[in-house]
Copies of this chain bind each other. A is one copy, B any other.
Amino acid sequence: MENSVLETKQIPVISSEILLAQWQGHRRLTRKMIEAFPEDKLFTYSIGGMRPFAALVIEMLTMAGPGIKGMISGKWDNYSDVEKSFKATTRAELLKLWDEATAQINELFPKITPERFHETVKVFGQYEGPVYWSIFYFIDNEIHHRGQGYVYLRSLGIEPPAFWDRY
């Protein structure tokens, strides 16, 4: 096995496969959240001037497929342009985009080489850091905004899926 990508004294504990599995587990939970929202509230409901859950999902989609694609190709489109390319006005359309991204991530993620994980990239031409850092950012940003969705659902009197339900 090749692990020279980490600094000499660092001990690798998490593989690319584990990271992908973690993310897809979270993505399965986020998909359940999309299903848990009443369809009208998905696109309109807001607290404190924050974006509706569908808009947060579009943000997740913008980072996910195009983000991993950029990690491999090194080519980045403008973030706003990419975000505008994801269009959904119904739950079914949103779920379709979600499932397409799931397949795209499963296909592309294994192509990120171990060396690449530790190279510095400028994600969407804007956010500079190691590839692994940006991948954590994509995953963590999804968890963060999904947590926001939990409050939306609870305030609507709807019980969200359990946080550990990643199946």
Q: Which residues of B contact A2 (CB under 8 A)?
A: 11
Complex-state Cα separation, A151 to B53, whole angstroms: 12
The number of chain A residues touching the other chain, given as a range, is 35 or more
Say yes or no for A78: interface residue by CB 8 A criterion: no
Copies per complex? 2
One of A14-22, A66-74, A79-87, A95-103 contacting the partner: A14-22
Say yes or no for A75: interface residue by CB 8 A criterion: no
Q: What 4 additional pairs, Cβ within 8 angstroms, besides A47-B47, A144-B146?
A: A1-B12, A13-B117, A48-B151, A144-B147
Chain A positions within 8 Å of B, measured between CB atoms, are 1-3, 5-8, 10-19, 22, 26, 47-50, 114, 117-118, 127, 132, 136-137, 140-141, 143-148, 150-157, 163-164
